[in-house]
Structures are given as C-alpha cells and as structure tokens.
C-alpha cells in the first residue's frame, strides 16, 4: 500500500490527551500524534452490559476499549506510530518494520536487519492485537510486514508486570483488521475494499502487494500479501554499489478475521506466513585457506551458498466483557520456524575449512490469558497466565579436513553429523494493581513469576513498580523499577558438540560447552515530558540496568545464524531526548540517545572464543559488540495539496570492532527523501505514486568490519538507491 496521507500528523501532545492518558500511560513520548487528540477510554466500558447495541461496529468498539485496558503501560516509555506516521516516511508503507522502529530514540541498527534497543541485544517481543507471537529464528527476513499495522507502539523502560521474557522493547502492533477500526479518513471501514501496488528499485527491486479488507454483518476481515525480489538481499560485504551473488526472493502473507458473537463476546483468528530465500554474498580475490585432493576449487566470487527462512503462526482468541467490572481475553497460539543454511560444498570447505548443512527448527504452541477487574474507582487489578511448549532441534552435517595442532593434515574431507533435539516448557503468571492515588499520581505495582525448562531449568519472582505524576497540565514525570528474567531463546542455542570436531579444521578454541543461562537484571528508569507550546513537545529519559548472566549473541562459524552466550555480569545505562513539532501542514521530530553497554567474564559458550580474548574479557569490562555511544534519528514532512514531501536521517557513532570490542567503526549519517503524489485519472480513479531516495548523498559506511566479539563478516550500509512505488486503492 502507498496511500499518501491527507496531512502530516507529527504533533504535540495536547493538554486533553496528556491529562486523559494519565490513567493508563505513565510516560508517553509521542513520536507522532493524531491531529485531533485521541480518545482515551477507561479500563471498563461504560453503559449497561446487558444493553442492546445498535450496530456491530459500536459493539466492537466497546470491546476494543476493554482489550486496550489489558495493556497498561504505566512506568514505561511509549513511542507511537500510526498509519499516517508510516506514510510520511520516505518509503511510506513500503518501509520495512525494522526501519520504522529506527525512528524511535535508543534504537540501533545492526547487520542482517537486527535492532538493539537501549543497549540490549535483540531481545524484542512482538505482540499482534495484544497476543504474544512466539519469536522466530533470527535471520535477515521480515516475518511481519509493516503495512498490516494501523498502529505500532514501541514500549521500553521499566515495564509493568504483564510484560515478561523479551523486555528490551515490546513491539505492540494493532492490525488494520482490528474490529471497529476506522480507515485513514476517520470513516468506518468499507463493506469491501483494498489496494494493489507495485514497487521498483535500483537493485532489480520488484514487488507486488495486495490488501483486502471489509465487513459482512458480524464478521470483519483483513488480508495482506507481498511477493518481492531484489539483488541486495543481505548487506553488501564491500562498499561497492552492487553486491556479488546477493539475490533474494521473499513472500509474506497475513490475515485476521473477527466475528462478534454478541455485544459482549468476540472470537478472532490471526495467521501469518513468511518464506524468504537469500543468496550469501561473495568477495572477489580471496585465496583458499585449505587444499583439496580431488576437485576444482571455485573462485571466491563464484561461491554458491544459500539460506532460507520460513515462519508460520496462528492465533485463536476469545475476548469477553463478562460484567461491568471484568474483562478477559484468552488466546491459543502456534508457531513454526525454520532456518536452512546450504553451503557451497567445495568452496566453503576450501575457504573456511568447513562446509556445514545446518537446519535449525522450532515449533511452539501455548496459551495466553489476560484479565482486568475494576475493584474500585481507584484500583484496577490485572492478572494473566502464559504457557508455552516448544520442540526444537538442529541438524548439522559438516564436511571438514583432518588437522593436527590446528593445521590441515589431509586434503581428503571427512563428514561429521552433529544433530540435537529437545523439548522445553515456559510458563509465567502476573498480578498487578493500577492505583490512582490522587488525581495527579498513579501507581502501578505488581509482580510476576516465570519458570523455564529448556536448555536451563530456572525461575524467578520479579517485582515491578511504576509511578507517574503530573506536575502541571503540561508536564509529567515518571519513575519505574523492574526486575527482569530473560530466558535464553531456544532457537539461538548453539548445540555444537565440541568433542566431535577435535583434530579437524573446525576445532573450536575452547572445550567448555555450558548451557546458556537465563539473564537476570534490575532496571531503573526516570523521565519527564513537557509541552513547550501547542506545537512542540519535548522529553528526556534516563535508565540504568544492572545485569547477572548478561545474554548476548554472535555469528560464530560460516553459517549466518546467531548463537547466544552469557557474560557473567553487565551494566547498561543511557539517556534519551525527544522533540516533536507540528504546525499546520508541517511536522518534524528529533531523537538523540546516549548509551553505554558493558560486560565482563564469559561464563557460557566459551568454545566460541580464542584463549587470549577469553582471558582478557574475564578480567576486564568490555563493550558489547552492539554498543553504540550516540544514536540519532530525525524527520520532517510537508503536505502541499496532493503532494507529500518527506525526509528522514539516521546517525550512529559506530558499532564496536577489534580485539574484545576495544575499537569502534567510524560514525555514519544516512539521509533519505520521499515525494508522494495522489493522481486522479479519468475513468480509473485515484492512484498513489511515491518516489524515494535512500542514502541521498551516497555515503559509504560500514555497519560491521568483520572484527569484534561474535562478528563473522563485514557489512556495509546501502548505497544510494531509488524506489518508485505505485498503488491503486479500491
């Protein structure tokens, strides 16, 4: 979809919204606010629960208010993106989801599309219409397309008790198929409508996308599909304009159907699927590191390694307004995920000493239940349960050369099979109280208990506390504390049997093989937001995290798959500043973040490190590989009749590199432009056209240089790229 908005919505947090939001939101740093203040509903829908409502739309909206009450964000920092905010980005609705999130403060881009929030490793939780989507195996593909969203919220900081497991950031997506949703003009959804679109770009980019939505009686639905291909699937390992052997084919589909049983009960079904294939890019002029007795070694530019990523998920939910005080939602979910790395059988062996066919797979299913009970006018209790069962496994068939003391001793390869599989269970429960102590002070306190039994068997009781206080009608302060328990992601556990690869060219530096541990941390957050004028809102937020068993990830080996390991301890702290402006048809924002993320002592996954590096980290505080001291994002948009002009910029002081991450890469600045136009053609109706330029000044910059802890290969940011997108709504 590429529908240009009627007006930019980068705006200040109005007094009405600021006061109304106090009941449910402690610290909302508004990235983009609607032109008119949003209506913030109470935790319990108003009116007689037994009253007959006139239409299914009204009934659905009442239930939406109840569901939203199940997501209190007290004590947290929230960054909101609605459809119009996404449209005003230079790529508009075609912006990948991870690129949308980069417009929030404290979000750092990394290679292979990874994001780091507030100095944490990936550790992001995705929720669709309030339901946790079990995470997929990490890779380069986007399993979720940003165009499915009517609103995306990034929630960070000291989270309330209902949020557990992946806590660096909660990516909360409300889909366009949410019942009662109004379209971009503010009107109720059509009985039937949709949009078809195409995208063309500089690197043989070609994409076709379709959206269908509508209502029929008590049924509402939304479906989206995307098929795309280009010649820059993974970041280029060189600064050249084009990469060698870097083609990708990607398909995504998503759907949501909702049926209103009566005025107080609704069932919904959400599903999604992604199938993404990548060529692994090559480098020219690399000499083979190993000799082969039989067979011809291909040139380094002609290697033919591939990776495929597949993810499918389904969610069935029942939502009910049981009484004037009690609301509940129960969801059953299922997800399968698989990554297959296929090497060049001779090339990988000759250049890397190992050619490994690796398949990681994971299947998860479970239940999530959340309830909200309005005890009194000042106390709202919330409770919930989460249960997940996983089946995970790794198939690894590797060709390697025999070796003595690390030196190849034969040119005849041998095959080693190193497979593993296991089952695991994760469960958790929480109870919290939102207490309106005074008209200005709201306290959210509670606790959750979580237990995981996968590669580790651990549990923790985690207290949470958040406070918000409105100093004036224009100024709000907040403070929060959260104890976090972060189980290791089973799909990222390295199950390599160290002993099987002894005396081969794939021998690992250390013989330690400890199972990854759950991370435990104490998180402190303090912030203030202030409305300077009716057009300008500013915010400042500071955080500190003290960590035991700090989890991090790295690409160890030639397969482009991440594996988790633990530092013994960590400390992460930083400060973020935000500024938002809206006046008439002009909108702008600026985010600046300072961060420091350090770790000491490697206590699991030691076999991935050389002895000298391991010894240094055990006695020194070192930067995490994703630690970037300064990050900034900015944007501006102007609506000129049917034409939308927009620009944004990303700045980073450089990720870490060198021995034990002691160095960092040079700073970079990427500026992007977009021009959108609505065109009315006689007899054909309205078309939306958008021309975008990524990296306008064609600056060459490295995200990674192939050095540093767990960094396997160099990756460069995109060179100047042009995109032309056209779409036809109907």
**331 in any annotated domain:** yes
H helix and E strand count, the chain: 6, 39
Q: Are 269 and 316 in contact (CB under 8 A)?
A: yes
- The β-bridge relationship of strands 124-128 and 169-175 is parallel
**718 in any annotated domain:** yes
Q: Taking Cα atoms as reference points, which of 65, 316, 49 lies closest to residue 180? A: 65
In which domain, by residue range, is 654 found? 15-285+303-729
Show the tokens assigned to 341.
């790395």
- For 714, other C-beta atoms within 10 Å of its C-beta total 20
**188 in any annotated domain:** yes
* Cβ density class 45-55: b for 16+ within 10 Å, e for less: beeeeeeebee
- Give the CA radius of gyration of the chain: 25
Q: Are 281 and 243 in contact (CB under 8 A)?
A: yes
Q: Are 137 and 362 in contact (CB under 8 A)?
A: yes
How far CA 242 is from CA of 142, 203, 230, 700, 722, in Å, comes to: 22, 8, 11, 12, 13
Per-residue model confidence as pLDDT tens digits over 289-300: 999 998 899 999
Q: Are 229 and 247 in contact (CB under 8 A)?
A: yes
How far CA 446 is from CA of 70, 202, 430, in Å, comes to: 14, 52, 7
How far CA 253 is from CA of 92, 200, 208, 215, in Å, comes to: 19, 20, 12, 20
Tally of domains in the chain: 1
- The β-bridge relationship of strands 663-664 and 403-404 is unpaired
**566 in any annotated domain:** yes
**250 in any annotated domain:** yes
Q: Taking Cα atoms as reference points, which of 575, 564, 488 lies closest to residue 527? A: 575
Show the tokens assigned to 651.
């700045």
* Cβ density class 400-428: b for 16+ within 10 Å, e for less: bbebeeeebeeeebeebebeeeeebebbb
Which ranges of the chain have pLDDT less than 70? 1-75, 137-141, 177-190, 510-514, 556-560
Q: Taking Cα atoms as reference points, which of 574, 572, 545, 564 lies closest to residue 602? A: 564
Q: What is the pLDDT of residue 597?
A: 97
Q: What is the pLDDT of residue 18?
A: 28
DSSP alpha helices (H): ranges in 445-533? none
Q: Which residues contact 44 (CB under 8 A, 6 or more apart)?
A: 66, 69, 324, 325, 327, 372, 374
CA distance 208 to 246: 20
Q: Taking Cα atoms as reference points, which of 565, 575, 670 lies closest to residue 624? A: 565
Per-residue model confidence as pLDDT tens digits over 99-128: 999 999 999 999 888 899 999 988 899 998
CA distance 64 to 678: 32
**658 in any annotated domain:** yes
Q: Which residues pair with 156 in a beta bridge?
A: 77
**187 in any annotated domain:** yes
Three-class DSSP category at 578: strand
The CATH number for 31's domain is 2.40.170.20
CA distance 319 to 370: 10
Q: Are 52 and 25 in contact (CB under 8 A)?
A: no
Show the tokens assigned to 306.
């591939």
Q: Which residues pair with 578 in a beta bridge?
A: 539, 591
Phi, psi of 600 (to 5 degrees): -145, 135
Task: Give the residue carrying structure tokens 């159907």.
Answer: 257
Q: What is the pLDDT of residue 78?
A: 85
Q: Which residues contact 376 (CB under 8 A, 6 or more apart)?
A: none
**8 in any annotated domain:** no
Q: What is the pLDDT of residue 122?
A: 81
Q: Taking Cα atoms as reference points, which of 558, 562, 625 lies closest to residue 282? A: 558
Q: What is the pLDDT of residue 64?
A: 42
């Amino acid at each position: 979809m590429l529908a240009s908005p009627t007006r930019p919505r980068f705006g200040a947090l109005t007094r009405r919204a600021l006061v109304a939001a106090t009941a449910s939101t402690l610290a909302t740093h508004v990235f983009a606010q609607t032109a008119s203040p949003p209506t913030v509903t109470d935790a319990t829908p108003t009116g007689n629960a037994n009253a007959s409502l006139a239409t299914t739309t009204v009934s659905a909206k009442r239930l939406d208010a109840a569901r939203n009450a199940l997501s209190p964000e007290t004590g947290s920092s929230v960054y909101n993106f609605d459809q119009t905010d996404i449209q005003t980005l230079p790529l508009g609705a075609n912006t990948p989801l991870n690129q949308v999130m980069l417009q929030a403060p404290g979000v750092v881009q990394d290679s292979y599309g990874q994001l780091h929030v507030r100095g944490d490793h990936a550790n992001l939780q995705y929720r669709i219409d309030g339901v946790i989507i079990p995470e997929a195996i990490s890779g380069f593909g986007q399993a979720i397309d940003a165009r499915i969203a009517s609103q995306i919220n990034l929630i960070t900081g000291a989270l309330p008790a209902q949020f557990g497991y992946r806590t660096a950031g909660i990516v909360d997506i409300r889909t366009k198929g949410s019942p009662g949703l109004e379209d971009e003009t503010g009107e109720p959804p059509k009985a039937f409508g949709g949009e078809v679109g195409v995208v063309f770009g500089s690197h043989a980019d070609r994409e076709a996308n379709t959206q269908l939505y509508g209502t029929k009686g008590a049924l509402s639905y939304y479906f989206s599909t995307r098929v795309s291909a280009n010649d820059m699937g993974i970041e280029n390992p060189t600064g050249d304009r084009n990469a060698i052997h870097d083609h990708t084919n990607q398909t995504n589909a998503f759907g949501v159907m909702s049926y209103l049983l009566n005025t107080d009960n609704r069932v919904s079904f959400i599903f999604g699927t992604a199938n993404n294939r990548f060529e692994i890019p090559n480098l020219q002029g690399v000499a083979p590191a190993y000799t082969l007795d039989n067979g011809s070694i291909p040139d380094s530019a002609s290697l033919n390694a591939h990776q495929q990523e597949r993810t499918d998920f389904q969610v069935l939910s029942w939502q009910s307004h049981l009484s004037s005080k009690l609301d509940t939602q129960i969801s059953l979910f299922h997800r399968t995920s698989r990554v297959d790395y296929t090497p060049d059988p001779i090339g990988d062996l000759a250049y890397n000493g190992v050619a490994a066919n690796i398949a990681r797979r994971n299947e998860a299913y479970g239940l999530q239940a959340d309830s909200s009970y309005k005890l009194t006018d000042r106390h709202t209790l919330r409770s919930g349960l989460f249960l997940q069962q996983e089946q995970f496994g790794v198939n690894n068939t590797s060709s390697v050369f025999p070796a003595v003391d690390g030196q190849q001793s034969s040119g005849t390869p041998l095959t080693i099979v190193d497979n593993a599989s296991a089952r695991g269970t994760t469960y958790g429960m929480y109870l919290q109280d939102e207490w309106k102590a005074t008209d200005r002070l709201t306290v959210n306190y509670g606790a959750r208990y979580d237990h995981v039994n996968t590669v580790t068997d651990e549990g923790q009781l985690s207290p949470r506390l958040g406070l918000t206080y409105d100093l004036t009608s224009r100024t709000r302060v907040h403070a929060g504390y959260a104890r976090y328990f972060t189980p290791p992601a089973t799909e990222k556990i390295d199950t390599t049997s160290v002993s099987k690869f002894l005396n081969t060219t794939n021998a690992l530096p250390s013989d330690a093989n400890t199972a990854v541990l759950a991370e435990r941390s104490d998180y402190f957050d303090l912030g203030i937001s202030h409305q300077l004028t009716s057009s300008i809102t500013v915010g400042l937020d500071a955080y500190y995290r003290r960590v035991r068993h700090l989890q991090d990830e790295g690409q160890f080996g030639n397969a482009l798959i991440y594996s988790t390991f633990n530092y013994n301890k960590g400390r992460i702290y930083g400060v973020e500043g935000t500024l938002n402006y809206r006046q008439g048809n002009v909108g702008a924002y600026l985010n600046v973040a300072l961060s420091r993320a350090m770790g000491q002592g490697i206590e699991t996954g030691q076999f991935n490190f050389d002895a000298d590096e391991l010894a240094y980290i055990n006695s020194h505080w070192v930067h995490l590989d994703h630690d970037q001291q300064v990050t900034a994002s900015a944007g501006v948009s102007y609506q000129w009749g049917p034409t939308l002009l927009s620009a944004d910029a990303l700045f980073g002081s450089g990720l870490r590199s060198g021995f034990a991450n002691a160095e960092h890469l040079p700073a970079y600045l990427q500026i992007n432009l977009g021009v959108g136009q609505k065109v009315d053609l006689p007899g054909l109706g309205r078309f939306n056209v958008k021309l975008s330029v990524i990296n306008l000044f064609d600056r060459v910059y490295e995200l990674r240089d192939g050095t540093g802890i767990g960094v396997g290969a160099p990756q460069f940011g995109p060179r100047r790229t042009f995109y032309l997108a056209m779409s036809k709504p109907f």
